[in-house]
Amino acid sequence: MHAYRSHTCADLNKSHVGETVRLSGWVHRVRDHGGILFIDLRDHYGITQVLADPDSPAFAAVEKVRSEWCIRIDGVVKARSEDLVNPKLPTGEIEVFVRELEVLGQAEELPLMVFGDQEYPEETRLRYRYLDLRREAMQANMTLRSDVVASIRRRMWDKGFREYQTPIITASSPEGARDFLVPSRLHPGKFYALPQAPQIFKQLIMVSGFDRYFQIAPCFRDEDPRADRSPTDFYQLDMEMSFVQQQDVFDTVQPVIAGIFEEFGGGRKVDADWPQIAYADAMKWYGTDKPDLRNPIRMQDVSEHFRGSGFAIFAKLLEQDGTEIRAIPAPKGGSRKFCDRMNAFAQKEGLPGMGYIFWREGTLMVKKSAPQKTPLEVYAGLLAGEEWVDTAAPIENAEQWEKRPALEAAGPLAKNIGPERTEAIRQQLGLGVGDAAFFLGGKASSFQTVAGKARTVIGDELGLTEKDRFAFCWIVDFPMYEKDDETGAVDFEHNPFSMPQGGMEALDGDPLTVKGFQYDLACNGYELVSGAVRNHRLDIMFKAFSLAGYAEDEVRKRFPSLVNAFRFGPPPHGGCAAGIDRIVMLLADQQNIREVIMFPMNQRAEDLMMGAPNEPSNDQLRELSLRVIPQE
């Protein structure tokens, strides 16, 4: 028999009854049932219940074991009685009677329990990550991650891609984030950098004639942490293709990503239709360039209904250039309580508040002789000046009138702008009784982010967002350039290596109107993929950089390899990168990316388990010709 196990803790079933087996694993928990000791023995694969009674030669040894001790047991497989079968376990029909026990590794008092679902501070979980990773949920997350990566590799090979590795130590290259620098011992005073992405290398691979490249690539960026972003390093599916246009990349990527979500999504719906939404429309409709399309709410510009209206705040605002009034529809949100709650939300986000209108069922006086009409039809008749409906019954012939249900617009805005404008807004937004709309105004940049958050909150609180679904969309037509409001300087808005739509001719006009062949893939409110068709022509590249204030000499100095390579027949090429960590986070239904990274940093970019970053020794600094300047 093997020194440690004949089976894993997930293998045994009724067919093994009577066999002598050997198992190794960790003591998940110990239970004493009237002198009979039960151990749930756990390994990576599952749990097997083992037991010992006073007649067992191993009983004294079993009495001593504690949670998370690593042990080996020899014993005989026995069938459980029918009333004791555990259908939740693959091994739930059997148990193993212990004949011999060997302690392979004792455990001291535990800083966190592996058994159960207790919550522990993140600092504790990261400091003792090896214990945290023993927990069932974390084992499942890491197994899922490994399986997803393996599936991605198979799918990319099936698409005709080959995997090539690019360097980890390279030159610093500005790509939108801070580099991690590595001092050179052989070249004092000079530094390497850890790559933010294999961007330039994969373009050079295309120049080298390798038609389809991919890599599960580590990337290193010195960034501020977020729940969906690691502050130091992450992994991405990096890919590049030659002789392609934008749609070719989409057609290649979609079946790979969709297949992953279908395979590992746990039965959740995976949308087959991936709309392509222009960046400007995404910001207008959703307030973000990574919209969650599970939420059906789409914001709309309703400026015309407030221009010259009785609501002075919005009317005066619209007299300024570049301003607008945007409405956020809220189906089923038509109560003053909900509207007040959303107004308070906006104030917490730093805005004065949000105006609102909600529509409810009221009453109007209708002639008894009038045919039966819906509340909406009654309200429409009032607005049209029909004689059969009025706000109140005339004193004369009052007996000919009766109260009937009618639509009623409520809220401060409705009173200020009047029923005609209110009704025009309702019709534009497609709302009715029991619905509401919220309004924000000014320059889009001042309220757009809060509007997007409000849309998300409304969708969640009103139960409009489908939770059991993965909804994808491509965001396209990103602006190539942006202007700094304070300095007026123009710089790249997204990826400087992208081909401008329209080529050289597009760069002769206003830079702020130039769009790039750049694209992102959003899913459920997260950016999963980012990419572009690359700018492979030096004349267009130099012109594009000059509009952002970079002279040709500076471009040659910053990107010497790319500039030199593009002198020798570069092919048209494009590609993208998909975030492995975010994909697994969505599949695992987690809100924090650290739940799907085996050894993550904390929010201060510290590795509490390994003690990184740490101080180098004087000998190390001397060898690297470095001196640390103490911070004041």
Residues of the chain by 3-state class (helix, strand, coil), percent to 5: 30, 25, 40
pLDDT of residue 122: 94
Coil, strand or helix: which one is 3? coil
Q: How many CB atoms lie within 10 A of CB 388?
A: 16
Span 552-611, pLDDT tens digits = 999 999 899 999 999 999 999 999 999 999 999 999 999 999 999 999 999 899 999 999
Half-sphere exposure of 72 (CA within 13 A, CB side): 12
Q: In this model, does residue 625 exceed pLDDT 70?
A: yes
Q: For residue 597, which of 584, 586, 610, 613 has the smallest C-alpha distance?
A: 584
How high is the pLDDT of residue 294? 98
Average pLDDT over the chain reads 94
pLDDT one-digit tens code per residue, 428-456: 999 999 999 999 999 999 999 999 999 99
Query: For residue 531, how many C-alpha atoms fall within 13 Å in the half-sphere facing its CB?
Result: 30
Confidence (pLDDT) at 223: 84
The end-to-end CA distance of the chain, in Å, is 64
Q: What is the mean pLDDT of residues 91-100?
A: 97
Residue type, 283: M
pLDDT in tens, 245-266: 999 999 999 999 999 999 999 9
Asked whether the predicted pLDDT for residue 383 surpasses 70, the reply is yes
Rounded mean pLDDT, 223-231: 82
Position 96 pLDDT exceeds 70: yes
State the DSSP code for 47.
E
User: What value does the mean pLDDT take over residues 5-24?
Assistant: 97
Report the distance separating Cα 9 and Cα 39, nearest Å.
12
One-letter amino acid for residue 568 of the chain: F
Confidence of residue 239 (pLDDT cuts 50, 70, 90): very high
Q: Which residues pair with 234 in a beta bridge?
A: 219
Rounded CA gap, 109 and 380, in Å? 74
CA count, 13 A, side-chain hemisphere, 192? 13
CA-closest candidate to residue 71, choices 102, 114, 94: 102
**Phi, psi of 448, rounded to the nearest 5 degrees:** -60, -40
The yes-or-no verdict on residue 102 having pLDDT over 90 is yes
| pLDDT tens, residue by residue, 291-319 | 999 999 999 999 999 999 999 999 999 99
Phi then psi for 621, rounded to 5 degrees? -65, -40
Q: What local confidence, expressed as pLDDT, does residue 117 receive?
A: 84
pLDDT exceeds 90 at position 173: no
Checking if the pLDDT of 46 tops 80, the result is: yes
Q: How many CA atoms lie within 13 A of 173 on its CB side?
A: 24
3-class SS of residue 104: strand
Residue of 326, 156, 328, 167 whose CA lies nearest to 252: 156
Contact 582, 261 (CB under 8 A): no
Nearest to residue 465, comparing CAs of 332, 349, 353?
332
CA distance 449 to 440: 11
Closest alpha carbon to 43 in 138, 115, 147, 134:
134
Q: What is the predicted pLDDT for the residue at 484?
A: 86
Separation of alpha carbons 527 and 238, rounded Å: 15
Which residue is listed with tokens 């300024």?
320
CA–CA separation, 572 and 249 (whole Å): 12
> How sure is the predictor about 351, in pLDDT bands with cuts at 50, 70 and 90?
confident
Q: DSSP secondary structure string, 202-254?
A: HHHHHHTT--EEEEEEEEE-B---BTTB-SSEEEEEEEEEES--HHHHHHHHH
pLDDT over 90, % of the chain? 88
**174: pLDDT strictly greater than 70:** no
Beta strands in 348-454 (DSSP E): 355-367, 389-390, 401-410, 436-443
pTM of the predicted model as reported, rounded to 2 decimal places? 0.92
CB 77 within 8 A of CB 94: yes
112-158 tens-digit pLDDT = 999 988 899 999 999 999 999 999 999 999 999 999 999 999 999 99
pLDDT tens readout for residues 184-211? 999 999 999 999 999 999 999 999 999 9
Report the number of secondary-structure helices (H) and strands (E) in the chain: 19, 25
Q: For residue 277, which amino acid is it? A: I
Which domains are present in the chain? 14-105 (2.40.50.140), 295-465 (3.30.1360.30), 479-515+540-570 (no CATH)
| pLDDT single digits (tens) 55-73 | 999 999 999 999 999 999 9
pLDDT tens figures, 509-566: 999 999 999 999 999 999 999 999 999 999 999 999 999 999 999 999 989 999 999 9
Radius of gyration of the chain (CA): 32
Whether the pLDDT of residue 180 is over 90: the answer is: yes
Is the pLDDT at 225 greater than 80, yes or no?
A: no
Alpha carbon distance 428, 55 (integer Å): 81
Long-range CB pairs of 599-604, under 8 A, 24+ apart, other chains included = 599/129, 600/126, 600/230, 601/126, 601/225, 601/230, 601/231, 601/232, 602/122, 602/123, 602/126, 602/225, 603/122, 603/225, 603/231, 604/225, 604/231
d(Cα 330, Cα 296) in Å, to the nearest integer?
10
> Which tokens hold the place of 357?
């209108």
pLDDT of residue 376: 87
Percent of the chain surpassing pLDDT 70: 100
Give me the pLDDT at residue 395, please: 80
Which residue is it, tokens 């010497």?
560
Q: Is 80 exceeded by the pLDDT of residue 168? A: yes
Residues 596, 614: Cα–Cα separation, whole Å: 25
